[in-house]
Structures are given as structure tokens and as C-alpha cells.
Amino acid sequence: MDGEAGPQTAVKKAAANQMAAKWVREDVDALMRAPFAELVFRAAAVHREHFDPNEVQASRLLSIKTGGCPEDCGYCSQSAHFKTGLKASRLMDKEAVVAEARRAREEGASRFCMGAAWRAPKDRDMGDLCAMVAEVKALGLETCMTLGMLTDDQAGRLSEAGLDYYNHNIDTSPEYYGKMVSTRTFQDRIDTLERVRASGMKVCCGGIVGMGEAVEDRAGFLLALANMSPPPESVPINALMPIEGTPLGGSEPVSAVEFARLIAVARILMPTSYVRLSAGRENMSEEAQALCFLAGANSIFVGDELLTTNNPGQDKDSAMFDRLGVRLV
């Protein structure tokens, strides 16, 4: 038998293609079907080529404007289309946001992310948003915002204020996107990401699994990310947190092995990106999270809450990382 034949071929071929200008669907599909042990072994090797495998970046996410969003994303408790019991609120005062950022820094976070439940920010809010960015950045924290779709001018103002990253997730594959959201298109997302790039900010872009999508959609989602030019510097991978009252409230969770597979493929396709283990950690065992870190995840959100859903607190995370010998940075 040819020494290159057999179950390792897909992973070896993908590794050989890492320097290619574009990934092709065939290679991504092959990675999604590769034997799990071989896939994770390769992903761990890629991770070690670019990062310290015993370091994980700590980010904190704050909802600076909650609920009342006009979009109809089927997974989201903040949509005004669904009865989830979530009370809408106004944009937080700058002083309150900065106080939360200061607390996050004191508790070990190096990056502070601010999210607003909007389709797009209004120009009248841009002054306050830019002031938040400047003052949070002055604390020595890396800054990120997610505010919905942006105009060229809005992206430029955030960049000038010093915003390091802008988050705008593509959520899922282009083919499955319309089944999750009807109030905007996949191309709307891409247009904002291009404006973010043009402004000079870095891109934070990922998505969610466990929304009823097929394995092929997970492959298409990762392919779309990896073939961005350049790929996102930050890639949050979220496990759906089913919310009662949303169309996806009764969804079945993705298994720990399949979630770790997604992390591993993301690491191979995007070797130099931060791959963030994001929403869903509250429902993951310590062993499942450890498997994701082995597969190439190297960033998490810390704190008790992610926007409107629960997250493991500082005590649980500290105990887990002590056992794993991992340092939060």
C-alpha cells in the first residue's frame, strides 16, 4: 500500500495547502471527515507553530445596549420579534462602561468587548461610542465593539478613536444564512466587514453551531472565514445557547467531539488567528473545554455573563486552568 494512502491523507494534504492563496471546498470537507485523533494532532502542531499552547487570551464582553433589536436572528434573545422576557435598555453611560472595563482589567482580562443590540448604530450615538473606546483603551485594554452594520464614515470614526477590533459574525454558511435571518443578507455582513478592513481596524468574525445546520454548512462557514483576505484575526466559535421564546429554543446541542472538530479545522485553516471558545462554555464540561484547547482554541470570554447568557465565573475558570497548567493572558 502507498505510504501516503489511508486516513491521514486528508489532514496531510490540507497541511500542505496551508500556504495556498485560497482554500478549496474539497479540502475543508476532507478535514471535517478526517479521523479525529489525526485531525487534532495536526491542529495542535499548527497551534504550536504560532502560539504558546499553554496561554489563553482572556476577554470580557459587556452588553452596552440590551434588547429591542429589529433584526430577526432566530438564535437571539435580544430580537424584538420574539417573546423571551428580556427587557430592552438604552445605551449605557460612558462612565458605567469604563467602570466595568476597569473591573475586567483587575480580574485579569486583557481585552474588553462592547456589544449593542442594534441593526446599525445611529450617527447621534457615535460620539459616545468613540469616547467609550478612547477611555477603555486608555486603561491599557485591547478594545472591540459589535454594533451591527456600519457605514464607511462610522467605521472610520471608530478606527480614529482607537478601536482595535470590530466584531461582525457571519453566523453560518452562506447557504444556510437565510434560514436563520430574514432582515439582512449574508452580503450585508460582508459589506460591513470590508468597511472595517478599509478603516484599518482588525476583524473579529465567527459564528454559531448547533442551529440545525448540516456538517456541510459548518464546512462552508469555516471556508468563508478562511478565504477572507486576510482571514479574521479573531474567530469566535459559539455553541448555541437555546433561549426559550426564540425559534431555536428547542435545539439539540452539538457533541463535545464535533465542537472540538470545528475548533481543530478552524485552527488548521487560520493558523495565526485567535480562535475563541465563546458562548456555550457554561454547558461544557471541563474535559470538553480541555479538548478544545488541545485542538487549537486560545481565547475565551471570562466573567459571569456573555451579553444575556450565563458564562463560567472566575472561580471555575481559575480552577480549570490551574489543573490544565494554562496561563490567562
Active centre residues (catalytic): 69, 73, 76, 113, 144, 204, 276
CA-nearest of 313, 281, 307, 278 to 86 is 307
Query: Helices 186-199 and 152-161, interaxial angle, to 10°?
Result: 40
CA-nearest of 238, 306, 288 to 266 is 238
Distances (CA, A) of 285 to 32, 57, 165, 303, 324: 23, 20, 30, 17, 13
Q: What is the DSSP letter of 232?
A: P
- 186, 176 contact by CB (below 8 A): no
Q: 10 Å Cβ neighbour count for 49?
A: 9
> d(Cα 14, Cα 280) in Å, to the nearest integer?
28
> Terminus-to-terminus CA distance in the chain, angstroms?
47
Rg (CA), the chain: 19
Q: Which helix (H) or strand (E) holds 135?
A: helix 126-138
Grid cell in block for residue 5: 494512502
Q: Which residues of 204-242 are buried (b: 16+ CB within 10 A; e: fewer)?
A: bbbbbbbbbbeeebbbbbbbbbbebeebbbbbbbbbbbb
Query: Helices 25-33 and 256-269, interaxial angle, to 10°?
Result: 140
DSSP, collapsed to helix, strand or coil, labels residue 237 as strand
Query: How many CA atoms, within 13 angstroms, populate the side-chain half-sphere of residue 78?
Result: 20
